[in-house]
Amino acid sequence: MMSMSQVAAFAVLTVVMVVVPGPSVLFTIGRALTVGRREALLTVVGNAVGVYLQVVAVAFGVGVLVERSAAVFTAVKLAGAGYLVFLGVQAIRHRRRVTEALAVRPVYSAGRSVRDGLVVGLLNPKSILFFAVALPQFVAPEAGAVPVQMLVLGALFPVTALVFDSVWALAAATARAWFARSPRRLELVGGTGGLMMIGLGAGLAVSGRRD
């Protein structure tokens, strides 16, 4: 099996990748600003599940295909970008309902928040390319059971993401609380969160890759 030095090296690399804001972090911040702490934290949970599904895909070969095929990568990228833009438009359209949600109930159900996070995590090209490139470098082929090694090693990423993304969610939700003191402020932050999601989706759609 893998040595502790291999696990430690991958853990350090994982922390670096998670700390640098990417699509998942920006989406979490946008969700926290738009609908609040609870939904943002549930989004983080869903995102971690989606990211680990990427690990499973890479462990059994799909990640290699994404890494080598520009067409597959583009399809994944555009699907993720389109979903983010859709969520951003929805946030802007319903920004006035955010004020009502504070007094009545959350805008999104727990299941929907987890699902949205899962889709964003699953379609995040940054992480799937990271897994496709990095995971094979930290396994021990001579020990056998390489997919199992990848599954174990890759679990470090969603666990680390749960911790750091939750910090981002809590910080953004705290900022939202200040806006919540005024309905106008709250409508503004709801629209801002939606614009962040749209901008993130548009940026993701036009971003390139080296082939």
Closest to 65 in 3D by CA, of 84, 208, 74 = 74
Mean pLDDT: which of 84-93, 109-118, 125-134, 196-205 is highest? 109-118
Give the tens place of pLDDT for each residue, 49-71.
999 999 998 888 865 665 566 67
Contacts for 173 with CB less than 8 Å, ≥ 6 apart: 32, 33, 36, 37, 40
List the alpha helices (DSSP H) in the chain.
4-19, 23-35, 37-59, 62-68, 70-93, 96-103, 110-122, 125-134, 146-154, 156-179, 183-206
CB 51 within 8 A of CB 158: yes
Closest to 131 in 3D by CA, of 151, 148, 117 = 151
Whether pTM > 0.85 for this model: the answer is: no
